[in-house]
Structure 1
Amino acid sequence: MNKGEFEGKTSKENSEEILEDVSEETIGESTEEIHGELANEQMAESYGQPSYRKKGYGRKYFFTALAGALAGVIIGGLGVYYYIDSNIEEINDNLGIVKEINVDTSDNLYYASAVAEKSMDTVVGIVTTEKVNSMLWGTQTYEGMGSGVIVDSDGYILTNSHVISDGDADTIRVKFIDGSESAGTLLWNNSTIDLAIVKVDRTGLPAAEFGDSDDLIIGEPVVAIGNPLSLELDRTVTAGIISGLNRSIQIDEYTVMEPLIQTDASINPGNSGGPLFNSEGLVIGINTAKMTSAEGLGFSIPINMAKGIIDEVIENGEVTDVYLGIKGVDVSVYEKQLNVDLTPEYGVVVVEIFKDSPAQTAGLMAGDVIQEIDGEEIDDMSDVQRQLFNYKPGDEVLMKVIRNGDAVDLELVFQKKPDNFN
């Protein structure tokens, strides 16, 4: 009997069909034989004669018992089947499922391998040396190591600022996938956003492709490639997912890094400065181990923060930084430190304004709360710093501030940041 026939009948009908081969006549005949044999055995034993069994008796008894057992199992199984089936239907009816998501992993089983094959040769190792003078030990030479990614075929490499000692490295050596090495020259770095651009005198290099870090979603698969411990383990591939977006990490008492991509792909000092790829092999971030993080907790700088800087360096050979010319503090920090409540719920409180700065020229005053620059919301000084990377000397913007509870619009013209201004 096939499954369709079995399920199409009631338990009673199925039981009757299974048992119809075991007829009443057969059962009756077997019963008589059993009684007769038992009597013979008893008589033989009472007269001291050996007992005997009629030929074929054991087989009939076995099949009779088997038929009964089989019927019992099937009847019980039918009951369990219909009980479970009816309850599953009831459970499904009560689940109230409102959204169905189909997960197809057929094209992503080996995405890390595909990313590595496509992008491995764009990743480089970076080794630096720095001489430090000590009154106790004299001049000491320290070696640092990290990773980087080729962003232009003419030898432009993006890495972390801390990988090149925030600009204090005396020598920079870049190692490529074929084992060759070239001396590197630092073109630009900024410790606030922990990015740097190094140039080597080579052409025809494989350059990585950029993705859009503004379009990332939590749970998206990612791949980090770099040197986890040493150049002997260069271009190690680790895979994970995006665990969080727009993360803020306190680096020290005065520095906050944001917005960062959080991932569980392994990131450490060795592969810091290396790229974070999406599943299509596009760079979406630059890994940073500037802060100490727990296992399974890594951070990456969104690549969109670096795109404009890279373009300017390639075009002009340098980045001309602009400045605002203020000292400021977040509204929340200001309220906490002074135990006051400000009317604005967010923004940067201007504490000090530098002479002849763009801020002073625009009419900004101490006590003003900056809430917008060129239409972009400002929550803290990190937002101010990030906004400045979008402008060049001479660019004009509209700044919105809160002054004594009133909204005030100020027109500001950016200037080149002085060399002695930090």
Structure 2
Amino acid sequence: MIEGRDQGISWYNKDEENLAFVPGLMGRIKNFKNNPQKEGRSMDRCKHHENRDEAQKRRVGELEKIAEDQAICQSGSPNFMAEPKTAYYMMKKTVLFIILLAIPAAAMIGGWIGAYMASKDDGIGAVRYLQGADTDLQSQIVMIAKEEHLDGIPAVVKKAMPSVVGVTTVTVEEDRFFGLRKGRSVGTGVIVDSRGYILTNSHVVNDGRTHEVTILLHDGKDMKAEVLWCDPTLDLAVLKVDGQNLPVATLGNSDRIVVGETAIAIGNPLGLAFERTVTAGIISGLERSIPVSDFHSIEGLIQTDASINPGNSGGPLLNGKGEVIGINTAKIRSGEGLGFAIPINIAKPIVDEFIAKGEFTKVYLGMKGVNAQQYARNYGSILGAKEGVLVYQVVPNGPASKAGMQAGDVITAINGEKVPSMTRLARILYKYRPGDKIKIEVVRNGQLVTLETTLIAETRR
């Protein structure tokens, strides 16, 4: 018998009859066998006063029986280690058993809660898969495609920046006291073709009345430019430099933009000292109208809170993909974060024709007008139409004159498309080519009159 006291454990071998005893019990049995005088005092308590030898044998047997009942045995294991079944040991087993039962129970409860919360989730972006549902409900489910944007504003700027140019103009004006005087101004433009076609604002090049135009490229080179076309009504102009393999901007689709999406402006605010300044914001509104004179306003504009300052004019307004969605044109000085851009889709047909043919031919109607609504508001006049274009001059022998148009007529529609303003009239006419026939609806003395004419090409004067 080999005894060990560490952690209350006794080791035994096969010679001790494969029993594992409570610590010290085997020693007590041996002491009883070897010293019956000491351990045999309890024999006096025996009811029948058996003789010493019989009592000794019976006592040894009882002690061995007690040890056997309290032992943890494993038959056939010559070196078995046993742990007594103490109260602590039993409590530990009970706690372990409870934990083992609690883990799967908690998992099941968590699963039920998760499933319930998922069934209540109506968050944006969640995708539901319905099986066996009502077909009417299924027909109402619309999957919205994710827009792919570049990885942040730095990526947008890296893509678009090389195509942004500085536009410096020199104008010569006659002063009654000082004679000829030169004026210099700075704006922004964007390259739309690798051969050197540049899109900017008409007012940046003084509506074509400039003495000299210089383009500052992204790499620092200066190039002289020519004004090929401009339209003060749309506030757009196309310039041309002699270049090859110039970096080109990607034109987006301004009809697809939505309020709240990212808007990034690049330009030269306050001159070339702050060239290629980047500002960012969101699309704040669509189809905005701003007055530029008493009788003229620019309509259908994109509103943004991206900072636009003098010098930003003509620069690109970009979306999150780095595409040009507008040409920055104006801001309202009395408020912060009120900038406006011309939708790029207005300029696309013009740009495309320049790229394809090297020129753009604008149709000519032969009349001058103002916004009827603004005129009526300023002068309190009743024109017979709530909105339209009030004609104040008809050019002799022009298409409008040949159709019978008169000063005082209010143009309300062309080929059935409503004309609420001069800006919209200009946009509509850009859809047609010289030789196209159109029907013009006008209000004359409160009566609706339909006129017909053939458009001709406008000649540069």
TM-score, shorter chain, exceeding 0.5: yes
Among the aligned pairs, what percent are the same residue? 48
TM-score scaled by length of structure 2: 0.64
Helix, strand or coil for the counterpart of 1:310? helix
| Counterpart residue identity of residue 269, structure 2 | P
Helix, strand or coil for the counterpart of 1:272? coil
Structure 2: how far apart are the matches of 1:155 and 1:419? 22
Structure 1: how far apart are the matches of 2:147 and 2:393? 58
Asked whether the 8 Å contact 2:296–2:371 carries over to 1, the reply is: no
Deviation at 1:279, TM superposition (A): 0.6
1:171/1:419 CA distance change after superposition, 3 Å? closer
Structure 2: how far apart are the matches of 1:194 and 1:106? 31
Structure 2: how far apart are the matches of 1:419 and 1:119? 33
Structure 2 partner of 1:101: 124
1:150/1:107 CA distance change after superposition, 3 Å? closer
RMSD: 2.9
User: 1:29-63 CA deviation, whole Å, 9 max, x = no partner?
Assistant: xxxxxxxxxxxxxxxxxxxxxxxxxxxxxxxxxxx
Q: Does 1:282 align with 2:323?
A: yes
User: Where in structure 2 are the equivalents of 1:252-291 lying within 5 Å?
Assistant: 252-289=293-330
User: Where in structure 2 are the equivalents of 1:123-202 lying within 5 Å?
Assistant: 123-202=164-243
Asked whether the 8 Å contact 2:150–2:321 carries over to 1, the reply is: no
| Counterpart residue identity of residue 255, structure 1 | H
| Counterpart residue identity of residue 396, structure 1 | K
Deviation at 1:372, TM superposition (A): 1.4
Mean alpha-carbon deviation: is it higher for 112-121 or for 150-159?
112-121
Q: Does 1:307 align with 2:307?
A: no
Deviation at 1:413, TM superposition (A): 0.9
Mean alpha-carbon deviation: is it higher for 153-162 or for 317-326?
317-326
| Counterpart residue identity of residue 375, structure 1 | G
244, 248, 259: which one pairs with 1:218?
A: 259
Structure 2 partner of 1:233: 274
Structure 1: how far apart are the matches of 2:384 and 2:121? 43
| Counterpart residue identity of residue 180, structure 2 | T
Deviation at 1:155, TM superposition (A): 0.7
Structure 1: how far apart are the matches of 2:384 and 2:441? 15
Structure 2: how far apart are the matches of 1:404 and 1:131? 45
Structure 2: how far apart are the matches of 1:290 and 1:106? 29
Q: Does 1:389 align with 2:430?
A: yes
- Pick the structure with greater CA Rg: 2
User: 1:137-171 CA deviation, whole Å, 9 max, x = no partner?
Assistant: 34333221111100001111111112222222222
Structure 2: how far apart are the matches of 1:344 and 1:297? 31
Structure 2 partner of 1:82: none
Asked whether the 8 Å contact 1:128–1:173 carries over to 2, the reply is: yes
Number of residues of Structure 1 aligned to a counterpart in Structure 2: 324
Deviation at 1:277, TM superposition (A): 0.5
1:133/1:219 CA distance change after superposition, 3 Å? same
Deviation at 1:121, TM superposition (A): 0.8
Deviation at 1:261, TM superposition (A): 0.9
Structure 2: how far apart are the matches of 1:343 and 1:138? 48
Gaps of 5+ in 2: 1-119, 127-145
Helix, strand or coil for the counterpart of 1:211? coil
1:100/1:182 CA distance change after superposition, 3 Å? same
1:343/1:289 CA distance change after superposition, 3 Å? closer
Gaps of 5+ in 1: 1-96
Helix, strand or coil for the counterpart of 1:289? strand
